Structure 1
Amino acid sequence: MGFDPNEPEQRQRLRAALKAADLKPGELWLNYFSIGGSVGEYEVEAYLQGLLSLPPLQRDLLAMAANELIEAVPRLFAPYSDDANLAQPDQESNTADDRDTQDSAGADEYTDPPENE
């Protein structure tokens, strides 16, 4: 194929990054297209499978799109023993709105009227 020497390594690392971030090719393509990428979704999938070569600019736009998506995913961090959030239980779960919802939960239930005897 018409690969330049860096293309296979760039593709392999892109695939690894997508897998690690649990991103699908369709998500990548949509972001890639929104930032100016010019190849279609099928071509991106073929590139990721090693079936199609892409010019360096398009590969770099794919990398940029992937990195933007990866950065948007919140990361989990292990807490330290002195983290303030560690000692406080979730205070948001019992707000006034939640209590109102709980109080009116049965209000919409339908019951059959008593039968006339």
Structure 2
Amino acid sequence: MQGVHTHTAMRHADLSVLLVWDHFLNMGGGIGQFEVDAYLHGLMALPVDDRDCVTQAVNELLDDLAMMGHEACCRAPYSTMDTCGHPRCDPSTEPCACAGNGRASRTGAASRWR
């Protein structure tokens, strides 16, 4: 479900898989765009570290948008378990609760993020 919720946050902010994957690679991620896309659509499982790296990439891009005046309606959630199998507590990333498609209105630089 983490990937599906991450994809929801991406859709609401109009972030493309290519943009997220590029940022993911720049952060040190090491899997292909196809695998990231499959994960985001719930078709493939990823290890916790890769899942959280994709989440971090999305949230950093959302932070970049926020600096330009776009307020995201939701954030990508991090995994609920750490690498040792212990529960994590991160209340700042609840799954998106937007009604409908939840797309926030965009200003000027919208096409830059596709």
| TM-score for the superposition, normalised by structure 2 | 0.57
Give the root-mean-square deviation of aligned CA atoms. Answer: 1.4
- Out of 27, 51, 57, the position equivalent to 1:59 is 51
- In structure 2, the partner of 1:80 is none
Gaps of 5+ in 2: 72-114
Q: 1:73-97 CA deviation, whole Å, 9 max, x = no partner?
A: 12258xxxxxxxxxxxxxxxxxxxx
Gaps of 5+ in 1: 1-7, 78-117
- Out of 53, 75, 95, the position equivalent to 2:69 is 75
Distance between the aligned counterparts of 1:45 and 1:76, measured in 2?
24
Higher relative contact order (CA closer than 8 Å, sequence separation 6+): 2
Is residue 47 of structure 1 aligned with residue 2 of structure 2? no
- In structure 2, the partner of 1:14 is 6
- In structure 1, the partner of 2:20 is 28
Shift of 1:69: 0.5
Give yes or no for contact 2:38–2:44 (8 Å, CA) kept in 1.
yes
Distance between the aligned counterparts of 2:52 and 2:5, measured in 1?
12
Number of positions where the alignment pairs a residue of Structure 1 with one of Structure 2: 69
Greater share of residues in helix: 1
Moved over 4 A (4+): none
Specify the code of the residue in structure 2 equivalent to 1:34.
N
Distance change >3 Å, CA 22–CA 76, structure 1 → 2? closer
Identity of aligned residues (%): 35
